[in-house]
């Protein structure tokens, strides 16, 4: 039996699935809560107190009080949150260590940071990580930046799935993988836009889980962290047909839930890496790839039974089944079924419509 950290099985069961005996019983999941906050102030003390409440204890040092203005905007959905900061003039913040992984994006102006371990400074286009174990001093000049707060539990889960290590933290501010920087920047911008959208699709649990997992995966590949110092990564081990069948059955039964690789592996009683290897060898895909196929199949069925006169839309069905944008859904749908989604939405007799097998 591959090693799974104590207590991990309970932790990786997705929200909305409650354990009952040896089975997992799906429960209804509502839209995730939205948390918005917006403040503009020229008072450094108000800015300090607000930052203290939103993110981390801090002390403002050497503010340019004559020209100083700060706007703080928080957009949060579920466990994912972005803090947007606009500064006119300049300000320096002496902060305590951040309680979780915080990734920064500088869109305009200047930014510099210094901890006991390192210093980093830059202009527009800079991306940086704020190590949670270190206090720091951060200076913003005529800046437009935002901080993406990653859920610590998701970062640990992804590290366990990818590297077999469930204790992880970011260890440096500057990206260590420069080839990933553009990809990270684009993904962060997409997340910020989706979080701050008036009707954010991230309220859908399936969409939310996928995007948070993607962000954690790319962040771990971009910034220095403890998974990069592993000397040895054991092989995934052998996964038998019975375990693979358990995984497939679990995905089929819970495709409408915010599943993760760890949850599927726990249900199959194998390691995430072993399960991923077995899917690739025996099914030519990954567990998450199979999950996406299953959800596309369900979305197809929903389209065939939808009624536009009741307000059913392609976008709503796409979001319900974990597709972030209608364009992404349309492209995958066309590649699988040979025609765009609106063709099936308009079917007068959906019971006679047929599509190719998704399995």
Between residues 350 and 247, the one the model is more confident about? 247
Longest dimension (CA), the chain: 71
pLDDT at 61: 79
| Domain 31-233 sits in CATH 2.60.120.10 | yes
**Per-residue pLDDT for 12 more than 60?**
no
d(Cα 274, Cα 353) in Å, to the nearest integer? 38
User: What pLDDT does 14 receive?
Assistant: 37
What pLDDT does residue 203 have? Answer: 94
Contacts of 142 (CB under 8 A, 6+ apart): 87, 88, 89, 90, 108, 109, 110
> Which one has a higher pLDDT value, 60 or 336?
336
Mean pLDDT of 153-180: 89
Task: Report the number of secondary-structure helices (H) and strands (E) in the chain.
Answer: 12, 10
With 70 as the cut, is the pLDDT of residue 313 above it?
A: yes
Between 55-59, 136-140, 264-268, 301-305, the lowest mean confidence (pLDDT) is in 55-59
pLDDT at 232 over 60: no
* pLDDT exceeds cutoff 70 at 132: yes
Judged against a pLDDT cut of 60, whether residue 25 lies above it is answered with no
Helix, strand and coil in the chain, % to nearest 5: 45, 25, 35
Q: How confident is the model at residue 350 (pLDDT cuts 50, 70, 90)?
A: very low
Range of lowest pLDDT (28-32, 69-73, 330-334): 28-32
Residue with tokens 């990954």: 286
- Which residues, at least 6 apart from 245, have a Cβ–Cβ distance to it below 8 Å? none
The CATH 2.60.120.10 portion of the chain extends over 31-233
Task: Please tell me the predicted confidence (pLDDT) of residue 352.
Answer: 43
Task: Tell me how far apart the alpha carbons of residues 249 and 157 are, in angstroms, rounded to a whole number.
Answer: 22
CA distance 330 to 323: 10
Q: What pTM did the predictor assign?
A: 0.79
Average pLDDT over residues 85-95: 93
Distance CA 120, CA 182 (A): 18
The boundaries of every CATH 1.10.10.60 domain in the chain are 287-352
Query: Which of these, 193, 113, 129, 167, lies nearest to 5 by C-alpha position?
Result: 167
Which tokens hold the place of 196?
């701050």
What proportion of the chain, given as a percentage, has pLDDT over 90?
59
**Average pLDDT of the chain, as a whole number:** 84
Distances (CA, A) of 248 to 207, 241, 274: 21, 11, 14
- pLDDT on residue 332: 94
At residue 58, the pLDDT reads 87
How high is the pLDDT of residue 22?
Answer: 32
- Residue 23 in this model has a pLDDT that exceeds 60: no
Report the percentage of the chain scoring pLDDT > 70.
84
CATH number of 287-352: 1.10.10.60
Helix (H, G, I), strand (E, B), or coil: what is residue 80? Answer: strand
Strands (E), the chain: 17-20, 23-26, 34-41, 58-61, 69-77, 80-95, 102-115, 119-122, 127-130, 136-149
**pLDDT for res 11:** 31
pLDDT class of 20 with cuts at 50, 70, 90: very low
Phi first, then psi, for residue 157 (nearest 5°) are -60, -45
């Amino acid at each position: 039996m591959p090693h799974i950290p104590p207590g991990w099985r309970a932790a990786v069961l997705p929200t909305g699935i409650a354990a009952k005996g040896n089975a997992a019983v799906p429960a209804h999941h509502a839209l995730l809560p939205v948390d918005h906050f917006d403040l503009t102030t020229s008072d450094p003390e108000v800015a300090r107190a607000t930052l203290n409440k939103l993110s981390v204890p801090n002390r403002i040092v050497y503010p340019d009080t004559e020209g100083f203005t700060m706007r703080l905007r928080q957009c949060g959905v579920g466990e994912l949150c972005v803090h947007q900061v606009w500064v006119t003039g300049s300000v320096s913040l002496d902060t305590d260590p951040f309680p979780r992984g915080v990734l920064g994006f500088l869109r305009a102006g200047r930014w510099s940071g210094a901890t006991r371990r390192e210093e980093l400074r830059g202009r527009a286009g800079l991306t940086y990580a704020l190590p949670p174990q270190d206090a720091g001093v951060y200076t913003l000049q005529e800046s437009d930046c935002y901080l993406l707060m990653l859920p610590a539990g998701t970062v640990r889960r992804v590290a366990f799935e990818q590297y077999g290590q469930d204790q992880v933290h970011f260890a440096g501010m500057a990206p260590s993988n420069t080839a990933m920087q553009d990809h990270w920047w684009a993904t962060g911008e997409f997340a910020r836009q989706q979080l701050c959208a008036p009707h954010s699709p991230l309220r859908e649990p399936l969409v939310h889980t996928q995007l948070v997992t993607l962000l954690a995966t790319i962040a771990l590949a971009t910034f220095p962290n403890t998974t990069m110092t592993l000397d040895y990564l054991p092989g995934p081990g052998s996964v038998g047909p019975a375990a693979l069948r358990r995984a497939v059955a679990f995905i089929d039964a819970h495709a409408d839930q915010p599943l993760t690789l760890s949850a599927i592996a726990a249900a199959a009683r194998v390691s995430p890496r072993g399960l991923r290897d077995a899917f690739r060898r025996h099914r030519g895909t990954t567990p998450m790839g199979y999950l996406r196929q299953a959800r596309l199949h369900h979305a197809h069925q929903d389209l065939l039974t939808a009624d536009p006169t009741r307000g059913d839309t392609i976008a709503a069905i796409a979001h319900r089944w974990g597709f972030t944008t209608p364009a992404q859904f349309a492209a995958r749908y066309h590649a699988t079924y040979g025609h765009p989604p609106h063709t099936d939405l308009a079917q007068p007799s959906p019971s006679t419509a047929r599509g190719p097998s998704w399995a």
